[in-house]
């Protein structure tokens, strides 16, 4: 197990894109030993990786969904033992993707079919209580 001060453990980055799961588990265990209440594990690449991380620690694990790669439902994540889920910038990137598709459609085809997927003024008002 990795031994370090609470301050050092809290300063570790958890970018897992190029990190082996064993290294990730060691880092999360260091956070746990340092007193972290929740362990944040973005970028896990598979169901098996997520399950291995959850089994290796005794604190709630937060994973990031909405990234390319593993696509699991909340029910599937819960069954693996995941206690918290973040979506990071996924909602913003999704909205920007819709904007870019609409702009391409107007430029390339001169059409406006994209508007069929737009939220209605009534839906927007309901959300914001207007």
Contact at 8 Å (CB) between 85 and 91? no
Q: Tell me the average pLDDT of the chain.
A: 87
User: For the segment 2-24, what is each residue's pLDDT rounded down to a tens digit?
Assistant: 565 655 544 443 443 445 888 99
**Phi/psi zone of residue 86: left (φ > 0), alpha (ψ -120 to 50 degrees), beta?**
beta
Residue 84 has pLDDT above 90, yes or no: yes
Q: Quick one: pLDDT at residue 94?
A: 94
Q: Quick one: pLDDT at residue 116?
A: 95
State the average pLDDT over residues 33-57.
92
State the average pLDDT over residues 33-60.
92
pTM listed for this prediction: 0.71
Tokens encoding 33: 């030993």
Q: β-strands 61-64, 84-86: how paired?
A: parallel
User: For the segment 86-124, what is each residue's pLDDT rounded down to a tens digit?
Assistant: 998 999 999 999 999 999 999 999 999 999 999 999 999
State the average pLDDT over residues 27-31.
95
């Amino acid at each position: 197990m990795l031994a370090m001060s609470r301050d050092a453990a809290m300063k570790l980055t958890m970018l897992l894109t190029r990190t082996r799961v064993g290294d990730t588990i060691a880092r999360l265990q260091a956070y746990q030993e340092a007193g972290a209440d929740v362990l944040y594990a973005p970028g896990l690449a598979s169901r098996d990786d997520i399950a291995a991380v959850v089994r290796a620690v005794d604190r709630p694990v937060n994973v990031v969904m909405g990234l390319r790669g593993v696509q699991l439902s909340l029910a599937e994540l819960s069954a693996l033992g995941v206690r918290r889920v973040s979506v990071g910038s996924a909602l913003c990137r999704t909205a920007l993707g819709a904007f870019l598709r609409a702009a391409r459609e107007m430029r390339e085809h001169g059409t406006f079919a994209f508007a069929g997927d737009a939220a209605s003024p009534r839906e927007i008002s309901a959300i914001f209580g207007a």
